[in-house]
Amino acid sequence: MEKKVKLLVVGGGPAGLAAAVAAKEAGITEGDILIMERDEELGGILNQCIHNGFGLHTFKEELTGPEYAARYARKVRDAKIPYLLHTIVADIRAEGETKYVTAMNKQEGMFTVEARAVVLAMGCRERPRGALNIPGYRPAGIYSAGTAQRYVNMEGRMPGKEVVILGSGDIGLIMARRMTLEGAKVKLVAELMPYSGGLKRNIVQCLDDFGIPLKLSHTVVDIDGKERVKGVTVAAVDENRKPIAGTEEYISCDTLLLSCGLIPENELSAGLGVELNPVTSGPVVNESLETNVEGVFACGNVLHVHDLVDYVSEEAENAGRNAAAYIMRSMCRQQGKTGENGEKGKNGIIEIKIKIGERVRYTVPSTLRLNYMQEEQVVRFRVGEVCQDAVLAVYFNDTPVMRIKKRVMAPGEMEQVKFKKAKLEDYPDLKEIRIAVEQEENG
């Protein structure tokens, strides 16, 4: 199968689906779009997230993960956008404006599709045990929280009866409740950090509702059992996250779930030469969510790990629209016409850098090109520590322009600032925007 499309979307989860639909709405014919998905159905990770809480922003109602996924899958089918299931992308390479996407499936074997633009929407993976340096044998009964979620929610199998969960990420919290509902005894959730990495609402409705204890600043220092997990040793950690001698406590259990962070899955991006941000492990992008490789866009959890799927959809729609605009400009150039937006050279482009200030770990995007900005630009970021009574401060060229009071900001929750294009255009000689989280001044 040698095929040519205008837009290829890698991944059929919430990001990929929303990007494809938005690209069609922005004028790309459905036959010129192709989605590749490695799983047996569209929807990605949402299919195993059977809990409620999805879609309040997007659909103004509270849906479960599979329902949210089904809405977008229907949009793709209604738009008649072609997609390939059971198809894994092995390599992407760019030669100027043309991208070559090499993929595999049972029917075609290995094949290459030529595309003008690519949207990266591969999502993320869970941090595995190997990355956590927990001593002990490798007995059965150790699962990432997401693996356990798939077993319970999609395959109808229970991983164990007595459970300890390491890490308080959202999937870990959700699985604490899920396993409890299915009759397991969840003895403890241990979190290395002094705060939970999950949403506050999940602490309330998944742990507090069921009396499941959460120990902050604690970790698993040993796993007991050779064939099957028999128990774990949990210890308190100091401010340097080192176990404190004498605080060890043995907890018998047959299952250990790991919910210790998510990592964007960017092997394909790296192979393509996309610049990655070491903080997010996702691509560095501009206002159009375009990477340093022209015509390659990124959205969803492959770009940075989100807390709400609603924001993934919103971001992905932007990526899809921007990819469509890129394709149209690229076609204009090919036909010898000058595109809009001063496409004559890079001279006309005004680029503003977004710098991270105190307590801000990263921003997405990290640059804004005024010429390509929409009327309103959302900049998303996360803080590096829990901040009480904080002020979100924005500086233009070191001059304070915005101060918003925030009662609490936490690393587990994504924050955002919106910028109006007109405001940036009006500011004289704007080169740099800095976003910081500061302590509230007294008085």
Q: Is 79 a residue that touches other proteins (CB under 8 A)?
A: no
> Largest alpha-carbon pair distance within the chain?
74
Phi, psi of 158 (to 5 degrees): -95, 130
Q: How far is the CB of 48 from other proteins (least distance, A)?
A: 9
Place of tokens 């494809």: 20
Compose the 402-421 pattern: x for residues touching other proteins by CB under 8 A, - for all others: -----xx----x--------
Among 19, 199, 312, 436, binds other proteins (CB under 8 A): 199
Among 81, 145, 152, 164, binds other proteins (CB under 8 A): 152
Across 137-241, the runs of DSSP E, i.e. the strands, are 142-144, 162-166, 185-191, 214-216, 218-224, 231-236
Distance CA(301)–CA(71), nearest Å, equals 19
The helices-and-strands tally (H runs, E runs) of the chain is 8, 29
Q: Is 153 a residue that touches other proteins (CB under 8 A)?
A: yes
| Whole-Å CA distances, 422 to 23, 66, 428 | 25, 40, 12
Among 1, 181, 244, 279, binds other proteins (CB under 8 A): 181
Q: Is 214 a residue that touches other proteins (CB under 8 A)?
A: no
Phi, psi of 80 (to 5 degrees): 55, 35
**131 SS3 class:** helix
Q: Is 205 a residue that touches other proteins (CB under 8 A)?
A: yes
User: Using N-to-C axis directions, what is the helix angle for 65-78 and 309-334, rounded to 10°?
Assistant: 20
| Whole-Å CA distances, 203 to 108, 171, 189, 376, 387 | 47, 11, 10, 34, 18
- Check if the beta carbon of residue 400 is closer than 8 Å to that of residue 318: no
Stretch of residues binding other proteins (CB under 8 A), selected from 2-10, 62-70, 114-122, 233-241: 62-70
Q: How far is the CB of 306 from other proteins (least distance, A)?
A: 10
Among 15, 203, 325, 430, binds other proteins (CB under 8 A): 203
Among 108, 182, 248, 267, binds other proteins (CB under 8 A): 182
Q: Is 389 a residue that touches other proteins (CB under 8 A)?
A: no
- Check if the beta carbon of residue 225 is closer than 8 Å to that of residue 231: yes
Among 67, 97, 162, 440, binds other proteins (CB under 8 A): 67
Pick the closer one to other proteins by CB: 231 or 300.
Answer: 300
Residue 267 CB neighbours (<10 A): 11
Q: How far is the CB of 280 from other proteins (least distance, A)?
A: 20
Among 27, 62, 338, 425, binds other proteins (CB under 8 A): 62
How big is the site for other proteins, counted in residues (CB under 8 A)?
Answer: 31
Among 25, 26, 39, 52, binds other proteins (CB under 8 A): 52
Pick the closer one to other proteins by CB: 71 or 129.
Answer: 71
Residues that bind other proteins (CB under 8 A): 47, 50-53, 56, 62-64, 66-67, 70, 152-156, 181-182, 199-201, 203-205, 209, 307-308, 407-408, 413
